[in-house]
Amino acid sequence: MRLTRRSFLIGGGAAAATLACTGVAVAQRPQAFKAATAIRVEAQPISRLSTTDPDRSRFGALMFRSGAILRSDVPAFGGFSGLWRSASGQEIIALADNAQILKARIETADGRLAGLSGPVLSPLILGNGVPMRRSRYYDTESFALSGNNVFIGTERNHAVIRFERNAAGSIIRGVPIPVPQALKDLPSNGGLEALAVAPQRSPLSGALVGIAEGGSGFILTGGRQGAFQVALTNGFDVTDLAFLPDGDAVILERRFSLFGGFACRLRRLDAAAVRPGARVDGEVLYESEPSHQVDNMEGLAIHREGGETVLSLISDDNFSALQKTVLLEFSLVA
């Protein structure tokens, strides 16, 4: 097993080395709550993305809007690797790696992120009544919401679980959907990091699309099902996917090194490029620099607000005191 950013940061350097050599787990994620639980989350606003160039607001094709570092005294808070934001931008759902979700409303001050109100952590429950945290699908890594359907991708035991979203907004009755054998055969720690449903204007309209960390892509539903490959460069791996209203896709990528720390990148994929058998590449919209206030960015959501296309990113802190839960938002420059 290779030395990963998760094993190093959760277990520490020596423990990670042991894991790399022996394959024996040395740390576990916090257990999810048994029922929906209101928690307290504090926010430290981020007013400037760059710590060395505080007056800069344009970064590639993006304008930095605002951000916040989120903290809670609840051990089960964190580990967020999937993100959804409502059409109004006021509600968020974040998927945690330990089979639970965070639901909250966005608080703003002068148009900038100021914190979360009404945050609730809820466990994910399968249709047979078994909590996902106690099932073979305990490692939850990717999230997509479309209408009343919610899709969650899992690692270790690679699968996609479809849930229903009821009138009260609860996510209930998870059932695995059929997936190709190639997805099931992905490396243990290399499953679906990204899931999204293609919008109406996409050639894949309504299809569920997933991408693994190593760039293996799958069109999982609809009339054009099949596999594709995302071209990876400069040490980046895919961590999430979201579609723009025009049908183009945006992928979030992450890079980690022990000496360089975390970096993130956003690339735009042409709507027609994502198809069975294709090798997909795309233009870089944004790539972080060492001075930027990013962490292990793993979740991406896109919504329209006041005529702007807003990209929101959240980090997976791996439940580690060495990392932070960072929520950022950018506007896409036309």
Cα–Cα dist 316/229, whole Å:
24
Whether residue 15 is found in the same domain as residue 123: no
Q: How many domains does the chain have?
A: 2
> Which two structure tokens, joined as six digits, stand for 200?
């109406």
Confidence of residue 112 (pLDDT cuts 50, 70, 90): very high
Whether residue 190 is found in the same domain as residue 302: yes
Whether residue 226 is found in the same domain as residue 293: yes
Report which residue type is found at 272: A
Quote the pLDDT of residue 29. 84
Whether residue 16 is found in the same domain as residue 120: no
DSSP state for residue 168 in the 8-state scheme = T
Confidence of residue 26 (pLDDT cuts 50, 70, 90): very low
CATH code assigned at 298: 2.120.10
The beta-strand segments (E) located in 185-230 are 192-197, 208-212, 216-219, 226-230
Domain with 5 in it: 1-30
Full-model pTM: 0.92
On the question of pLDDT at 7 being above 90, the answer is no
Quote the pLDDT of residue 28. 67
pLDDT in tens, 149-170: 999 999 999 999 999 999 999 9
Confidence of residue 27 (pLDDT cuts 50, 70, 90): very low
Whether residue 167 is found in the same domain as residue 41: yes
Whether residue 54 is found in the same domain as residue 121: yes
Whether residue 106 is found in the same domain as residue 204: yes
Cα–Cα dist 127/129, whole Å:
5
On the question of pLDDT at 21 being above 60, the answer is no
What is the mean predicted confidence (pLDDT) over 73-79? 96
Under 8 Å between Cβ of 248 and 302: no
3-class state of residue 144 by DSSP: strand
Confidence of residue 92 (pLDDT cuts 50, 70, 90): very high
Q: What percent of the chain has pLDDT over 70?
A: 92
Whether residue 166 is found in the same domain as residue 223: yes
Cα–Cα dist 327/13, whole Å:
27
On the question of pLDDT at 239 being above 80, the answer is yes
Quote the pLDDT of residue 18. 32
Whether residue 21 is found in the same domain as residue 141: no
Whether residue 6 is found in the same domain as residue 51: no
> Which two structure tokens, joined as six digits, stand for 273?
């490029």
Whether residue 116 is found in the same domain as residue 260: yes
pLDDT in tens, 127-152: 999 999 999 999 999 999 999 999 99
> Which two structure tokens, joined as six digits, stand for 279?
């090798």
Whether residue 55 is found in the same domain as residue 104: yes
pLDDT in tens, 282-307: 999 999 999 999 999 999 999 999 89
In DSSP terms, 284 is beta-bridged to 267
Confidence of residue 263 (pLDDT cuts 50, 70, 90): very high
